[in-house]
């Protein structure tokens, strides 16, 4: 008997990015992959974004918890990143917020090794990634 996969969205964003802008990026990315938004377990980002209004509003709107991680907690995932941003590292100490945060939360929720199901997608103000534990939902 197979269990449902754990799907976690990782998000990075510029200051002032709205919940609507984040949701558009999420919906476009999930639609291209054929994954329903209702299959998502939680949202994740870096602790620098803990009080970012757009992220908080998005989590409330989707009724999903938003978990944040320090750059130190995200560092172990650097080898799994599809893209390493020097600018992100200079600003936050993390080479890839969306992918690292998604991987960190997926592992925290399951205790298993996560994988990136959707690598870094970006819009002008945000980045998105999807990590999973378990079977492919598509």
Residue ranges per structural domain of the chain:
6-126
Whether residue 2 has pLDDT greater than 80: no
Cβ-based burial of 112 (10 A; exposed 0-12, middle 13-18, buried ≥19): exposed
Half-sphere exposure of 135 (CA within 13 A, CB side): 6
Q: What is the pTM of this model?
A: 0.91
6-126 maps to which CATH number? Answer: 3.30.420.180
CA distance 91 to 84: 13
CA distances to 57, 61, 65 from 20, in Å: 9, 10, 17
pLDDT tens for 64-114 read 999 999 999 999 999 999 988 888 888 888 888 999 999 999 999 988 899
């Amino acid at each position: 008997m197979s269990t449902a996969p754990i799907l976690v969205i990782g998000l990075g964003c510029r200051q002032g990015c709205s919940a609507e802008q984040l949701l558009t990026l999420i919906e476009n990315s999930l639609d291209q992959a054929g994954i329903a938004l209702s299959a998502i377990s939680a949202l994740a980002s870096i602790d620098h974004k803990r009080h970012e209004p757009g992220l908080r509003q998005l989590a409330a709107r989707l009724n999903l918890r938003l978990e944040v991680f320090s750059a130190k907690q995200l560092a172990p995932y650097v080898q799994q990143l599809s893209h390493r941003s020097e600018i992100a590292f200079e600003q936050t100490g993390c080479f890839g917020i969306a992918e690292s945060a998604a991987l960190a939360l997926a592992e925290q929720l399951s205790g298993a090794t996560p994988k990136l199901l959707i690598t870094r997608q970006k819009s002008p103000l945000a980045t998105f990634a999807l990590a999973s534990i378990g079977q492919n939902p598509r």
